[in-house]
Amino acid sequence: MELLPLGGQRRGATRKRGGPSMSAIADQPAPPPAADPESCLHDDHHEALRLWLRLLTCTLLIERRIRARLRLRFAMTLPRFDLMAQLERYPQGLKMGELSRRLMVTGGNVTGITEALVVEGLVLRQPIPGDRRAHAVRLTPKGKRAFEAMAAEHAQWVEEMVSGIGAGERERLQALLGRLQTTIRARDRDGMDANAAEEAPR
């Protein structure tokens, strides 16, 4: 995610300045809390909890800044940007259910975001031949141009926000977080396997 001057309108922006439409406001989050998650910590809290809240705080700080810049620069919300990012990777389109799975949100949320983007002319939703209940969603040419402009700045924003740590430190941090992710996923699988075994008919 990248950083550019905030003045002026870039080619590829999704709408002119003058405030977002009602549909753009619909999927915006509630105002962020005044304090970050780490503010609730006590001296006797476990180190693992401290680590978790530090990770969460960093995530929320980055996300908050990205949300604000997408709104100011492009009158775009983060949920819409994320959906367009998935579609940019799959030019042939994705089913609504697949979008829901990839974004880890409910089908209702995906439907609402998609409908708003259809109104903007940024995505196209088409029936899938042979499956009357399914639709494929893909970027329109206008949507592809708009996403490319946003993605370029988005990359700069992220680079700016992590520029305080060196390349070597970033590599080590990424490796450590990768190990943590693998551990969590493995325990999730173990838990699901255990639940399935308990629920299996005897």
Q: Are 152 and 73 in contact (CB under 8 A)?
A: no
- pLDDT means per 10 residues in the chain (202 residues)? 37 41 47 61 75 90 95 95 95 91 90 94 88 86 97 95 94 94 88 60 58
Distances, alpha carbon 141 to alpha carbons 21, 78, 92, 145, in Å: 21, 20, 13, 6
- Provide the CA 29 distance to its chain's centre, in angstroms: 12
| Nearest to 74, CA basis, from 27, 26, 12 | 12
Q: Are 63 and 78 in contact (CB under 8 A)?
A: yes
Q: Which two tokens stand for residue 124?
A: 């196209």
**What DSSP line would sit under 43-83, residue for residue?**
TTS-HHHHHHHHHHHHHHHHHHHHHHHHHHHHS--HHHHHH
Q: How far apart are CA 122 and CA 117, in angstroms?
A: 5
Q: How far apart are CA 111 and CA 61, in angstroms?
A: 27
Distances, alpha carbon 196 to alpha carbons 181, 184, 193, in Å: 23, 18, 5
Q: What local confidence, expressed as pLDDT, does residue 25 receive?
A: 40
Strand duo 94-95 + 131-139: pairing: antiparallel
Q: Are 13 and 146 in contact (CB under 8 A)?
A: yes
Q: How far apart are CA 125 and CA 4, in angstroms?
A: 32
pLDDT digits (tens, 9 = 90+) for 46-76: 788 888 888 999 999 999 999 999 999 999 9
pTM of the shown model: 0.70
